Amino acid sequence: MQKAVFGGGCFWCTEAVFKMLKGVEKVLPGYAGGSKADATYEKVSSGKTGHAEVIYIEYNPEEVSYKTLLTVFFASHDPTTPNRQGNDIGPQYRSIIFYTSDEQKKEAERFLADINASSKSGEPTVTELVPLKEFFGAENYHKDYYANNKSAPYCQVIINPKLDKIQKEFGELLKKI
């Protein structure tokens, strides 16, 4: 197993997206990238800790590549808007990749360069690329949020369209249900 850590807005959304993928064995919401010694939803939501809402992924590289994870990551959020994804605003919602190895760093650098070179709008990505120093797991009520709250308005309006998009664009990558 290998691990990957991504922040692409609200971790409820990214957790739901990556849980659908073949080869992804575990997805946990949490916080990373801050300057404080601990992180809680309340503290991170203040926007003053420097942490981003992220997901920690354990995946089998024989079933899904890191490049494929990057492809889905960039397809599931807007990497050109700083500190914002839709109505979720603040530094905790920034686009960020936390690499866990030199290979991941190089792969992400190539991927970002390719995205920027092929941008039709000319807008570069604002996605940060930094080493993972520490991951703080989110509170239990955030875990499997979408699976446990599918009828909640946020899930219906924000998460469902993302899942629909991923299912349409990446059907071959999805776990069989």
With tokens 């990446």, the residue in question is 170
Q: Return the SS3 of 107.
A: helix
Cα–Cα distance for residue pair 140/145, rounded to 1 Å? 9
The answer to whether the CB of 80 falls within 8 A of the CB of 34 is no
pLDDT tens-digit series, residues 134-156? 999 999 999 999 999 999 999 99
Homologous superfamily in CATH for domain 2-173: Peptide methionine sulphoxide reductase MsrA (3.30.1060.10)
- List per-residue pLDDT tens for the chain, 177 residues long: 999 999 999 999 999 999 999 999 999 999 999 988 889 999 999 999 999 999 999 999 999 999 999 999 999 999 999 999 988 999 999 999 999 999 999 999 999 999 998 877 778 899 999 999 999 999 999 999 999 999 999 999 999 999 999 999 999 999 986
pLDDT value, residue 124: 87
Burial 36-57 (b: 16+ CB within 10 A, else e): eeebebebbeeeebebbbbbbb
Per DSSP, the chain holds a count of helices (H) and strands (E) of 7, 8
What 3-state DSSP class applies to 93?
helix
Q: How far apart are the first and last CA of the chain?
A: 22
- Catalytic one of 4, 5, 10, 16: 10
- Write down the pTM of the prediction: 0.95
Q: pLDDT value at position 40?
A: 95
Q: How far lies 49's CA from each of 44, 127, 137, in Å?
A: 6, 19, 15
The domain segmentation of the chain, as residue ranges, is 2-173
Is residue 10 annotated as part of the catalytic site, yes or no? yes
List pLDDT tens digits, range 74-101. 999 999 999 999 889 999 999 999 999 9
